[in-house]
């Protein structure tokens, strides 16, 4: 049976709109019916919060069968929402932690993001990696927070579909992968080969760097191949999400041959 939300729980949920609050509680918010529907059955959900307007128009049994349901006044719900036009339903979920061992398997296709700070790029890259059948995504320290509302929206729920290793030291991750025979393929403006000539058919990790600076010199030096995407027009480069998509799908093409 749904309960009226307490002021104490409202205050707790408000902290989840900030990275510091998410880190402290290990909880995050998923908002909207579409994204909530992407949450796997085994993913821990602490509760659902619905607006009074939503509760008056929808059957809450589907949510009550999974976790506690709190009803907030419409003005209270708007304070908790990160969207311009709130749908009226959100889930408070627990974070999940993954290790490099978990995502590294024979012939794995991986994506590593080094200091990719734009939430839209991080979410889009996770979505593309999911679509490409990647085994996992590695986010190094300095990347946008995986569990921020903007990343969740940009990923279209894909963060629930594949393991994402977070807060990794980039060099530690690179050395770990190289020791296990994973090819490190970096998108790089000084690349000496185009993606279509690089061997991405074996276990490999596509590495994408910061939007402004690209990959750090230290991580670039660890790469087995530096690949440059051809720029036929006048643009000097692609953004991080587009570059990652090109390389991930070149790996897919080679694996489907």
Three-state SS letters, 147-175: CCHHHHHHHCCHHHCCCEEEEECHHHHHH
DSSP letter (8 states) at residue 210: B
Cα 92 to its chain centre, rounded Å, is: 17
- pLDDT tens-digit profile of 38-92? 999 999 999 999 999 999 999 999 999 999 999 999 999 999 999 989 999 999 9
pLDDT of residue 107: 81
252's tokens: 């897919």
Looking at the DSSP assignment, which residues form a beta bridge with residue 113?
A: 139, 208
pTM of the model: 0.95
In this prediction, residue 154 carries a pLDDT of 97
Helix (H, G, I), strand (E, B) or coil at 49: strand
Residue 114 has what pLDDT? 98
pLDDT one-digit tens code per residue, 118-146: 999 999 999 999 999 999 999 999 999 99
**Residue 249's pLDDT is what?**
98
Output the six-digit token pair for 73: 């006044």
CB 211 within 8 A of CB 189: no
User: Domains in the chain and their CATH numbers?
Assistant: 3-94 (3.30.1330.30), 100-256 (3.40.1280.10)
Q: How far apart are CA 227 and CA 186, in angstroms?
A: 6
- pLDDT tens per residue, range 237-256: 899 999 999 999 999 999 99
Instruction: Give the list of residues 6+ apart from residue 118 with CB closer than 8 angstroms, or none.
Output: 144, 211, 240
């Amino acid at each position: 049976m749904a309960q009226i939300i307490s002021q104490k729980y409202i205050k707790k949920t408000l902290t989840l709109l900030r990275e510091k609050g998410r880190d402290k509680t290990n909880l995050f918010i998923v908002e909207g019916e579409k994204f909530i529907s992407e949450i796997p059955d085994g993913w821990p959900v602490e509760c659902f919060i619905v607006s009074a307007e939503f509760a008056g128009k929808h059957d809450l049994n589907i949510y009550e069968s999974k976790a506690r349901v709190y009803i907030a006044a419409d003005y209270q719900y708007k304070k908790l929402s990160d969207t311009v036009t709130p749908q009226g339903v959100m889930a408070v979920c627990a974070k999940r932690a993954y290790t490099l061992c978990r995502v590294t398997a024979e012939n794995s296709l991986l994506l590593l993001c080094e200091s990719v700070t734009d939430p839209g790029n991080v979410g889009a890259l996770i979505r593309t990696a999911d679509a490409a059948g990647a085994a996992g995504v590695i986010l190094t320290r300095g990347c946008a927070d995986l569990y921020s509302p903007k990343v969740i929206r940009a990923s279209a729920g894909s963060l629930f579909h594949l393991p994402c290793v977070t807060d990794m030291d980039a060099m530690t991750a690179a050395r770990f992968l190289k020791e296990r025979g994973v090819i490190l393929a970096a998108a790089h403006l000084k690349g000496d080969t185009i993606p279509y000539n690089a061997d991405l058919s074996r276990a490999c990790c596509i590495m994408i760097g910061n939007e402004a600076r690209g990959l750090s010199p230290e991580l670039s030096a660890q790469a087995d191949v530096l690949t440059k995407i051809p720029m036929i027009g006048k643009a000097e480069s692609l953004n991080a999400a587009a570059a990652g998509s090109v390389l991930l799908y070149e790996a897919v093409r080679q694996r489907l041959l």
